[in-house]
Amino acid sequence: MSENDETRSTNKENNNLEESSGQSQLGSNETEVDVDSVEVEKGSGFLRLPIARIKKIMKADPSLGIASQDSVFLIAKATELFIESLVVESYQNMTASKKKTISKRDFDSCVESIDSLAFLDGAIYE
């Protein structure tokens, strides 16, 4: 076997080891995300929320000093993912009640049923 073949074989074994050791026992509602496999392309229309608005909201907090572009990007992406998960949960509540449109009631039932969303209780008024 040549040196290149040995290197490839070793790399394959290492990858298999990493994959098997990287798996953990998660609860039914938890999701594991491999951060290294997520491709992030800043400045290519990857975000749906306007960066300027996120930065303006962040600057409104007097305790925040200077916010780097990376931190603004990460806050924007985290906000998008949070909104997406909230909408998915609301959609599931809507389909469970056999309706065709998402209403405030669906949002409220998500907030009541998911402990991690308790901070949103009463956040949206009629």
One CATH from 1.10.20.10, 3.40.50.360, 3.30.1280.10, 1.10.150.120 for 36-126:
1.10.20.10
Domain ranges (residues) in the chain: 36-126
CA angle 90, 23, 91 (to 5 degrees): 5
Q: Nearest to residue 87, comparing CAs of 113, 107, 101?
A: 107
Over the stretch 16-52, which tens digit does the pLDDT of each residue have? 444 444 433 333 444 444 444 445 555 546 889 999 9
Tell me what percent of the chain is helix, strand and coil, each rounded to the nearest 5: 60, 0, 40
Residue type, 121: D
Q: What is the pTM of this model?
A: 0.60
